[in-house]
Structure 1
Amino acid sequence: MSKEFSIEREVVLPATPEEVFAAVTTGTANWMFPTPAPDPGSPIVRNWEPPTRFTVRQDGEDGWFNALDFLIEARDGGTAALRYVHSGIFTDDWDNQYDGAAKHTDFYHHTLGEYLRYFGGKSAVYAEVSGPPASAYPSAMEAVRKSLGVSAVGDTVQLELPGLAPAEAVVDYLNPYFLGLRTENALYRVFGRNNFGGTVDISAHLFGEDADKERTEQALGAYLNGVFAA
């Protein structure tokens, strides 16, 4: 049964309003949100008011819509407050979809903060893979944490992905649903979508000059297949 939803958040980010607006609109970090490539002239862009407001809305059949609204306001110390509203209609399994979208929103905002703090202004090569069917079981994220030796935010672990050079990584986010790892040149994000009817998935935002999307996706896929090998 279709039902409207609204997910609202306010976060303070370590950047100016201009930097935040650029991050969510110009391709430097907008891939952290479920938005189409923004174009001020596109019919889905309802507000384009740099650096204070950006709104996109997609409409479909039978009243369906999906809208994201970003309101950005300067704060003291070179920071900015982002007021974010994600609204729309879920067509089925409303409670599970809302829970998943709300938890993803918190993780996206955290990742946006990490990007602005450590990689602000840099463009990234974006890689992502979905885990195998075996990663859909309830304790799948526990298996990932165990394989990486992760126990708490602030831990430093050795990230070893098949075919890539080992890298020291700091755990910047950790809960039963998500895991964030930050290296000198990348942000790795692990999504426990097994909790919402999916699989464990991984994305990587690569900022190094030698960033290689295909090679990284092969490495991430091999890693997940190894963790969840029968």
Structure 2
Amino acid sequence: MAKEFKIVHESEIDGTPQQVFDAATVGNSGWLWPMDGEFEPRVGGAGPYGSTVTAWDPPHRFANHVDGEGGFFNSLEYDISERPEGRSWLRYVHSGVFFEDWDNQYDGAAKHTAFYQHTLGQYVKYFAGKQAAFADIQGPEASKGPDAFKAVKAALGIHGAGAGGHVNVAIAGVGDVDAVVDYQDENFVGLRTGDAMYRFFGRNAFGAVVGMTVHLFAGGADGDAAGAAWGAWLNGLYS
């Protein structure tokens, strides 16, 4: 049975409203994933995945909406206010429909939202305006186990709770990755280097496999090669 949801997340971002607006509308590969097309910059304009732009007021408001079969819809809203010293306040609203397992899906979506919005803030602060070579990597079926994400943390050398500190991990085909731990909780880990961000998702908590994304900002970076290397590393944790 279809049931609507609404997730609201607010955060201060170390960047201007224009940088935040651009990140939401053209810089998605740097913090989320590459969009399938571009947003037509006007209310009523076409957007990726068959969506329609429902608000376009740069740099303060952007929203889009998509309808589907069986009562499905998905809406994203960004309200951006200027703060002192080049900062911004972002109010992000995601609303839509889940068709089954509502509580689990809502819990997963809310926790993913917090992580993605943190990653947006990291992108704006450190890599604003840059596109990224991107890779999305999914673990094997064995990574659905209840303790599967602990293997990722152990392999990265992450212990305890919270962000802060550094990790150094050797990845065959990539080399040594020396990174700041910019995010860590039970289900997610974020690593940041001078020219990359790595995001790890403990989706085993929500009935899926463990996954990760790679965002490479160095010129000439090869997302496919990095994805293959990290994929071999991730799969090796469960073999």
Residue 57 (1) aligns with residue 65 (2): yes
Match of 1:198 among 204, 208, 224: 208
8 Å Cα contact 2:30-2:132 kept in structure 1: no
SS for the counterpart of 2:103 is helix
Alignment-derived partner of residue 25 in structure 2? 25
- C-alpha distance in 2, partners of 1:202/1:16? 28
Q: Within 5 A, what are the aligned runs for 1:1-230?
A: 1-27=1-27, 29=29, 32=32, 37-40=37-40, 41-42=45-46, 44-151=52-159, 152=161, 153-229=163-239
**Cα distance in structure 2, aligned partners of 1:221 and 1:61:** 34
Unaligned runs of 5+ in 1: none
TM-score, normalised to structure 2, is 0.91
Residue 3 of structure 1 deviates from its aligned partner by 0.5
3-state SS of the aligned residue for 1:77?
coil
2:231 counterpart letter in structure 1 = G
- 116-125 vs 9-18, which deviates more? 116-125
Rounded Cα–Cα distance in structure 1 between residues aligned with 2:75 and 2:121: 22
Structure 2 distance, partners of 1:93, 1:220, is 31
**d(CA) in 2 for partners of 1:117 and 1:37?**
25
Change (3 A) 1:215 1:34: closer
C-alpha distance in 2, partners of 1:131/1:81?
A: 35
Q: Percent identity?
A: 48
Distance 2:212 2:220 in 1: 20
Q: What TM-score results when the alignment is normalised by the length of structure 1?
A: 0.94
CA 1:35–1:3 in structure 2 vs 1: closer, same or farther (change >3 Å)? farther
8 A contact 2:190–2:199 mirrored in 1: yes
Q: C-alpha distance in 2, partners of 1:27/1:11? A: 18
CA offset digits 1:12-44 (Å, max 9, x no partner): 101111110001101355752796544122061
CA-to-partner distance for each residue in 1:17-74, whole Å, 9 max, x for gaps?
1110001101355752796544122061111111111111110123210100111111
Secondary structure at the residue paired with 2:179?
A: strand
Mark the runs of 5 or more structure 2 residues left unpaired by the alignment: none
Whole-Å separation in 2 of the counterparts to 1:179 and 1:30 = 16
Task: Report the number of matched residues.
Answer: 229
Amino acid corresponding to residue 226 of structure 1 in structure 2: G
Distance of 1:34 and 1:86 partners within structure 2: 18
Q: What do you get for the CA RMSD once the two structures are aligned?
A: 1.6
